[in-house]
Structure 1
């Protein structure tokens, strides 16, 4: 009989030694606890933002280049016909002077014809320079109303990103959740800061199994779920380190009894001492009665979809 008792005691001791330790978990355990709600999720990955209605920044380059040319043309001095007329008068005067000096009418006529031909050449150059076709300026092509066919399309070279261009603007909108429709006067930034303080405090209370603190910040249903998790832990020590924490209000709603605000928490958290921090992404539902009988309390925790 004594030998049988020793065998049973040794077996129980062995089973106790081989039993695995309870897994360390943060408040909520990374699963779903308490209130369940559907909150705005990320849009579909293939949904792209609408194309911008404003033209690209470099579209104004031809106009900017044309402005100095127009200014230069406006600043150019206007030519008149006074020069050719003065030259013709001078030619007639030379012919009269040659006749007066006895050089003969033939010599005077020759000088007059020569002068008139020179004046005509100058006048033709003037007309061509003013009204003739102008060569296209290199590097400043314009197609708006010019009556010219645009050049054949060629694949553009990959441009270097400029200061006014963000490649993230062309990425799918799935990187951020949809913005919540908040009531007027709702301080989202202040609420998010307070929510982060509550998140860190609740992790510390869960580590040391502080039931009073957990009860103060949770609804009865959520407190019951947290208490069951603590019982499953069998009083084992736990240390949760919040390495990085971001908070964002993703939904606001009301029912007959209370306001409901859903806050998304994501970042890095370490659930075991000396372990590597791991990413997490979850949503907490906080409620507050309309009658003001209590402050905001955690009603549910769920993974963020």
Structure 2
């Protein structure tokens, strides 16, 4: 089967489409014939060697596979798998960096990492849900916010930020969205109660809207301490990237969200897509062989949605 790998770290030129043996599912696992696989910023960090330098990926691996999100069809199951059958349309998340990647023609995942695919959207949109959906959901849970409390979301027009707004609104959480000025209509359509252009000095701008500061921040745009200045004393700051987490000034709690493959919660998020409570955006699709182009486009920024690879 074809799969995206790197044998050395560097720019997009180090990406290879390798011909690898088809993986076989072990007990409690299943194999997915991949129809679509999203490209994420963590793929860029894997390719460049940043994850290895940070100690998140073992050194000395002969090759490293890429791809976290997958949508496709189950084509083999291991012993003990009863919830999913061959032929089922599924989505899943690969969260073990040294395992086979989702940007391939086939991938093996633990059965607990997989959920039924949303039926109401094309497969390429379904592939965009797992990583950003589980990241947004866990980030919101870590804030501990209740109805009536306030949440600042940086990067509100992005994948994680947009889902955060949509998850917070039905819980009665008041949201302050930070994005480019041109994105204000879009994020308000996702449920944002207040808006601050990202060119503003965040602490000052947010405190004009929420005197004393917000109860929690989810820093989806990796703004860091500038976003922390908008947080009230004793509030909660959720960072998505550990090296950019600010110190816990003013008795605040600073937490780093670490996503993991939770198939049960992913199934609930997929149901939210089918019910129309959660929407996703697609920036485009590319064949697997053009993965380097996908990395270039993602690194350039300002994509209006997710980029997805189609192995077929």
TM-score by length of 2: 0.16
Q: Which has the higher contact order (CA 8 A, sep 6+)?
A: 1
Higher strand share: 2
Higher helix share: 1
TM-score by length of 1: 0.16
- Determine which structure has more spread, i.e. the larger CA radius of gyration: 1
